[in-house]
Structure 1
Amino acid sequence: MKIFKDWNLFEKSWLVIFTLINVVILIYSKEGVLGFITAITGMLSVILVAKGKITNYYFGIINVVLYGFISYNSRYYGEAMLNILYFLPMQIIGFIMWGKNSVNIDENKEVKAEKMTVKEIILWTVLSGIAVIVYGIILGELNNTLPMADSFTTVLSVTAMILMIKRYMEQWIVWIIIDIVAIYMWIFIKSDYNITMMWTAYLINAVYGFYNWRKLYKKERAVWGKQELS
């Protein structure tokens, strides 16, 4: 398949291993097909983001709709609202923005990675911290299962998605933090193994994504500079 044409061994192994784990969970647990599809589309989406591929948004749209539905049924209202009211339209915006800021590398079209300034890092950290506290209080009033943890992943996901659309490599540090908290929410509180495995795959991918985007940043600066001079 064309989508797997330039995948390296780590990327293929990562996808195969976590897909097989999710198949086993699907067969031997009482969890339904919906969680399995959510996990698979989510994994395809994030690995394509890590590779800087605009095709990540095709799978991302399916994932956010299904994950939003599952979160609503689990009374993680922050996660549900985040995915349906925010991530879904942002998938479309991201697709457009990435399409306008891509560079051809080794005959492959990849997004042009950017790096945040110290001022931007401080600003987003302070704003996110305030938002986590305020939204956590609101979710607590709604009888949320785990208000502060839900608020934490919700607010930081908003921040990370904005950084993703703006093509900042620092998005991956935020995603790593989100993934760790989300794993705790789904395995220790809800015991949903398909969704937990999806977040575990996200965590490993986020570490790889940060590593890969640092390489992309350096490589693209050279290629982008040549294109501007030509």
Structure 2
Amino acid sequence: MNIFKDWTIFEKIWLSVFTLVNVYLFFAWGDSLLGFISSITGMLCVVLVAKGKISNYYFGIIQTATYAYISYTYGLYGESMLNGLFYLPIQFIGIYLWNKNKTEASTIGEDVAVKRLSRQGWVILIIMSIVASAVYAYFLNLIGGQQVRLDSVAVVLSIVAQVLMLKRFAEQWVLWIVVNILSISLWLITLLKTGGNDWSMLVMWSAFLVNSVYGYINWIKMSNKQRGAAR
């Protein structure tokens, strides 16, 4: 399996730059090996999602498992539960669902058919996200979690975005952009307060933010191409 087939120059540069930053942090700042592995596999995962490639899920299995453990050690219980109890099993479901919904037009370059969210769908999604975030923040506060407001919103929006991803909606990337901004803030505050050395987590989420913007642009293009090919 050649995962780098059909990669653009931007994608290769993007991955190379953030990989080099992670390597520097690992050796210069004494970053943890687990954090390094989680960050690298996470970056491979998200760029493959942006390209609509099913192989993203194989790297996602490694990333979600390692990230769940790292989050737990920092008291970010929302992040830990999200990755260990939701994201990890979802990877296997994603492999199954995306394999069932491949495109026939291989010349376009993507593996799956892209869908778009309606205006009514956005309204329902926003209302559900607000209510769920408030409830989950209360729960995290009860169990002594850290940064519960940021943690709860990031977790809820991540779940919604992941569901949209499984359903192959391009609008998942709008939510991923918000999630990545919240997660960068969450880890920056946590690392500064605890004095932790897993700065690769901050690099990883910054890479995710860049990729989410690119992913949204790419999936809109994919959607337009597929609609044009169907006419």
Please state how far the C-alpha of 1:116 moved relative to its aligned partner. Answer: 0.4
Q: How many pairs are equivalent? A: 225
1:154 maps to 155
Q: Which residue does the alignment assign to 2:205?
A: 199
- Give, in angstroms, the shift of residue 5 of structure 1: 1.6
User: Please, which runs of 5 or more residues in structure 1 have no aligned partner?
Assistant: none
Larger deviation: 76-85 or 106-115?
106-115
What are the superposed Cα offsets for residues 103-162 of structure 1, whole Å, 9 maximum, x if unpaired?
133174511110001111110110011000010011011111111111011111100000
Counterpart-to-counterpart distance in 2, 1:124 and 1:214: 20
Determine the structure 2 residue equivalent to 1:95: 95
3-state SS of paired residue (2:170): coil
Runs (4+) of structure 1 exceeding 6 A deviation are: none
AA matched with 2:70: I
Give TM-score scaled by structure 1 length: 0.95
Mapped partners of 1:112, 1:193: distance in 2? 36
Alignment correspondent of 1:211: 217
Q: Are 1:27 and 2:33 an aligned pair? A: no
1:59 corresponds to: 59
* 2:132 alignment partner AA: A
Aligned-pair distance for 1:222?
Answer: 2.9
Unpaired runs of 5+ residues, structure 2, are 193-197
* Whole-Å separation in 2 of the counterparts to 1:83 and 1:107: 32
8 A contact 1:75–1:144 mirrored in 2: yes
- The corresponding residue for 1:80 is 80
Aligned-residue RMSD, C-alpha? 1.3
**Scaled by the length of structure 2, what TM-score is found?**
0.94
